[in-house]
Structure 1
């Protein structure tokens, strides 16, 4: 579960995962964070996914 409060004031979010973590799971976490923070999904590339969050 993700909580919006975890991302309050954040400018960048990093997502880490083990090698056995399915790409679909990593993508779903990224998508959920982007939706929670109203940040548009602009594609991703593994293994380095990072994106900027607009300050509220």
Structure 2
């Protein structure tokens, strides 16, 4: 699968504009941005919890 070039992005945006209309696109963009932001926060939280658990396990083995 190749990369998306500028023409492909323009085509995707044009189709989205036709399907959803100009009034709905900002709402959809905001919702997607919020969803990605929340996903990233939760992923970072899980990563930190795993790091803490791994460091706790390492300390118990040394004792």
Question: Is this a same-fold pair by TM over 0.5?
Answer: no
- Asked which structure has the greater RCO (Cα within 8 Å, sep 6+), the reply is 1
Q: TM-score, normalised by structure 2?
A: 0.32
Q: TM-score, normalised by structure 1?
A: 0.35
Bigger share in strand: 1
Larger Rg: 1 or 2?
2
